[in-house]
Structure 1
Amino acid sequence: MHTPAHDPIPTATPGRTGAGHTGPEAASTEPARTGHNLRLGATGESIAAEYLVARGFVPVAHNWRCRYGELDLVMRDGGAYVAVEVKTRSGTGYGSPLEAITARKAARLRRLLLEWSAQTGNRGGELRVDAVGITLRPGAESPSITYLRAIA
C-alpha cells in the first residue's frame, strides 16, 4: 500500500506480520499477537471499559479500525471524545503496561482519533487520548488498574 508523503498517518499496522502480509504492514516492530495475548487484550479492554463507564464515560466505539491502525476504545467524557489505549499484562516482567506507550505511539493515537472524527462525523468538542494499564496477575483477586488522562 502506497501512501503519499503528505499523509501524516503511518501505514504500518501493529501486529500484522507473517505470511501473506507484504509491504509496510509486514515491517511492524511489534510482536505477532498470539491467541493468549488476544484474549488477554480483550479481557483488559472489557475491564477498562467497565472502569471508565463507572466514572461517567459513555462508550462510542470498540476496536475501531481504519487502514492506518486501530483505536481500542472511543469514549465520550462530557464534551470530549476520548481515544483510550488499553495495555494489559499478566505481570510486570517486561515493565508496567503503560511503559509500552511511547511518545511516538501517543502521537499516532492522536492522529488516529482525528481520522476517526473525520470518518464518523463526530466533530465539535475536545479530542483527547487517555491510557489504561491493566495487570492481571494469575491468582490475584482483582486487576491492578492505572489510568492516565490526556497522554496526547
Structure 2
Amino acid sequence: MFNRELGARGERIAADYLVSRGFALIARNWRCRYGELDLVMRDGAAFVAVEVKTRSGTGYGDPLESITARKAARLRRVLLEWGSTTGHRGARLRVDAVGITLRPGEASPRIQHLRAVA
C-alpha cells in the first residue's frame, strides 16, 4: 500500500506543480486497453500526457531513469487512444515526464520536468 500512496502523492504534487506553471488539468489516471495515463494536461494548444515517477529517496536511482524508450512509446500509443476516444484526434499531443523525489526530513520535494519524452 505504501507504493500506491507514494504514487498518488507524487501525482498530486506533479499536477499542482504543472498547474502553477500554466498547465490545465484535464484528467487523472485515464485508462484504456493499452495502459494508463497518470495525468492529462493542457499546455497552450497541446494536450500532454504526463508520466509521474515518485521515489522516497535515491536508493533506486533517479525517478526519471525508469522511463525507457519502450515505456515512452507505450505512453504515446495510450495518448493517441485518449485523443481518439475523447474527440481530440488531430490535436497537438505530447508526452512529458515528471520525477518527484520525496526525501525524509526535507520540507520540499525535488521536482524534475522533462518535456516531449515521446
Q: 2:97 aligns with which of 111, 131, 144?
A: 131
Cα shift readout 1:7-42 (whole Å, capped 9, x = no counterpart): xxxxxxxxxxxxxxxxxxxxxxxxxxxx00000000
Q: Percentage identity across aligned positions?
A: 75
Q: Which residue identity is paired with 1:106? A: A
Does residue 41 (structure 1) correspond to residue 7 (structure 2)? The answer is yes
Please identify the structure whose Cα radius of gyration is greater.
Answer: 1
Following superposition, which runs of at least 4 residues in structure 1 exceed 4 angstroms of deviation? none
- Count the aligned residue pairs: 118
Match of 1:145 in 2: 111
Q: TM-score, normalised by structure 2?
A: 0.98
Gaps of 5+ in 1: 1-34
Cα separation, 1, equivalents of 2:5 and 2:94: 27
RMSD (Å) for aligned C-alpha atoms: 0.7
TM-score (norm 1): 0.76
Residue equivalent to 2:35: 69
Higher RCO structure, 1 or 2 (CA under 8 Å, sep 6+): 2
Secondary structure of residue in 2 paired with 1:82: strand
- Displacement of 1:133 in angstroms is 0.1
Give the whole-Å Cα distance in 2 for the aligned partners of 1:128 and 1:148.
11
From the two aligned structures, give the one with the greater strand fraction: 2
Question: 1:85: which partner in 2?
Answer: 51
